């Protein structure tokens, strides 16, 4: 059983159903109608999903323009990133999960769990009309987002979250449609702003902030500064990885797993969780079907911890520090930034520090400043 028709939950359901396992997906929304959200992912998503991920692709991204402290750096990607539409991705994953034999149960909200006879665990679901249903699964997978009710009911702590907010805008006529612009204004948010092309002359201007109020204020200011008019808004709460969350617990005779945002499997350096959520889902499916998956989980844990270390450094940066960072991006470091994507951060950091040792000095300076 899967609780929550998220991308990671549907991917897990598809992997399990392909191996002949009976899978029911309980989703609280009355119909599978995910809200649109434009995202950017690395090629790692296509390597994980294969043709399954192609339906969500909007356009390739071949260049990043990064701005901070009055400086600009341009990074040309050796292999493109991809702009995707989250709603399309979820719909496609649902179609394939159902075609593989999974069952989708929309309109059922998870209420809670309790012990039943013979060490079994009983899950309670409710519909809007008051109808109730109790299920006693042998395996249940929590995929119901950052505020996962199943995770909390099973004893996992609720993670901290940040607010993602972006506006759909008409791009300027001269905007290069293969380029993403990123800029850092730490006085407005400790994260960053972005402008992503989505096609047909449109794109999204957005940011991550600690709270929804901060995100709204900063986004309105950015729209005014960029002289862009909002056509629509997209947003959500993103869990902040603060340390590894064990993805498995045994409750009586029931195995409970978490995947995706429910397990806070998010790279906090960029606050992106699509690829890492899929990696966690694949490991959980392997654990259920084959009794392994530990190697993939260990690799994912290392990757998320590297991003956590990066975020702790970047949270100490002011505008001048970001300017110095861009100044240190010499030709070799920009080459490796374009060659190694951010879902392989361990390898990328090794290459960057080898080719520009002063980056280590900048990181240490920030950490020592935090200590003072």
107-137 confidence digits (pLDDT tens): 999 999 998 888 899 999 999 999 999 999 9
Inter-axis angle of helices 345-355 and 331-339, to 10 degrees? 170
Residues 169, 32: one domain? no
What is the structure's pLDDT at 371?
43
Residues 6+ apart with CB under 8 A from 41: 81, 82, 84, 272, 274, 275
Residues 24, 100: one domain? yes
Distance (Å, whole) CA 336 – CA 272: 20
- Is there a domain that residue 48 lies in? no
Residues 188, 77: one domain? yes
What is the structure's pLDDT at 369?
66
- Is there a domain that residue 342 lies in? yes
Residues 119, 226: one domain? no
Residues 142, 264: one domain? yes
CB-count exposure of residue 148 (10 Å: 0-12, 13-18, 19+): buried
With a cut of 90, say whether residue 210 has pLDDT above it: yes
- Spell out a b/e string for 280-317, using b for 16 or more CB atoms within 10 Å of the CB, else e: bbbbbbbbbeeeebeebbeebbebbebbbbbbebbebb
Residues 109, 174: one domain? no
* Domain total in the chain: 3
Residues 6+ apart with CB under 8 A from 287: 248, 257, 293, 294, 297
- Is there a domain that residue 50 lies in? no
The secondary structure of 206-219 as a DSSP string is: EEEESSHHHHHHHH
Distance (Å, whole) CA 355 – CA 350: 9
Residues 245, 288: one domain? yes
What is the structure's pLDDT at 370?
53
Pairing label, strands 103-106, 24-27: parallel
- Is there a domain that residue 273 lies in? yes
| Residue 216 domain boundaries | 57-84+160-238
Determine the average pLDDT of the residues in 249-275.
96
Q: Name the domain boundary from 266, 282, 308.
A: 308
**CATH number of the domain encompassing residue 65:** 3.30.9.10
Q: Name the domain boundary from 308, 338, 357.
A: 308
Residues 11, 116: one domain? yes
Percent of the chain at pLDDT exceeding 90:
83
Mean pLDDT of the chain: 93
Residues 189, 253: one domain? no
Residues 346, 329: one domain? yes
**What global pTM score does this model have?**
0.94
Q: Name the domain boundary from 263, 286, 308.
A: 308
**CATH number of the domain encompassing residue 17:** 3.50.50.60
pLDDT in tens, 2-54: 999 999 999 999 999 999 999 999 999 999 989 999 999 999 999 999 989 99
- Is there a domain that residue 323 lies in? yes
- Is there a domain that residue 285 lies in? yes
- Is there a domain that residue 52 lies in? no
- Is there a domain that residue 279 lies in? yes
Residues 221, 360: one domain? no
Determine the average pLDDT of the residues in 332-360.
87
Residues 265, 304: one domain? yes
């Amino acid at each position: 059983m899967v609780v929550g028709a998220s991308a990671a939950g549907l991917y897990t359901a598809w992997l399990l159903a392909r191996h002949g396992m009976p899978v029911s997906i309980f989703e609280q929304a009355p119909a599978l109608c995910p809200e649109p959200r434009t995202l950017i992912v690395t090629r790692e998503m296509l390597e994980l999903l294969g043709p399954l991920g192609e339906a969500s692709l909007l356009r390739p991204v071949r260049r990043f323009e990064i701005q901070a402290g009055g400086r600009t750096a341009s990074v040309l990607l050796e292999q493109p990133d991809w702009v995707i539409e989250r709603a399309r991705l979820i719909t496609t994953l649902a179609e394939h999960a159902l075609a593989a034999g999974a069952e989708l149960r929309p309109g059922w909200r998870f209420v809670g769990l309790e012990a039943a006879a013979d060490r079994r665990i009983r899950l309670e679901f409710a519909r809007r009309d008051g109808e109730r249903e109790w299920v006693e699964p042998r395996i249940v997978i929590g995929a119901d987002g950052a505020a996962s009710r199943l995770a909390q009911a099973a004893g996992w702590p609720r993670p901290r979250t940040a607010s993602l907010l972006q506006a759909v805008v008409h791009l300027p006529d001269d905007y290069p449609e293969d380029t993403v612009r990123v800029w850092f204004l730490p006085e407005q948010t400790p994260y960053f702003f972005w402008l992503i092309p989505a096609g047909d002359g449109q794109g999204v201007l957005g940011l991550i902030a600690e709270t929804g109020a901060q995100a709204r204020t900063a986004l309105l200011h950015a729209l005014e500064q960029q002289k862009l008019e909002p056509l629509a808004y997209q947003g959500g709460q993103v869990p902040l990885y603060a340390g590894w969350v064990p993805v498995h617990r045994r409750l009586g005779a029931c195995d409970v797993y978490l995947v995706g945002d429910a397990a806070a499997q998010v790279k906090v350096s960029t606050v992106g969780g699509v690829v890492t959520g899929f990696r966690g889902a694949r490991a959980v499916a392997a654990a259920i079907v084959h009794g392994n998956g530990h190697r993939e989980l260990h690799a994912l844990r290392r990757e998320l911890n590297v991003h956590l270390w990066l975020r702790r450094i970047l949270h100490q940066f002011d505008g001048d520090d970001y300017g110095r960072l861009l100044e240190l991006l010499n030709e070799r470091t920009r080459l490796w930034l374009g060659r190694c994507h951010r879902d392989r951060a361990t390898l990328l950091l090794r290459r960057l520090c080898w080719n520009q040792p002063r980056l280590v000095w900048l990181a240490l300076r920030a950490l020592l400043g935090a200590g003072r």
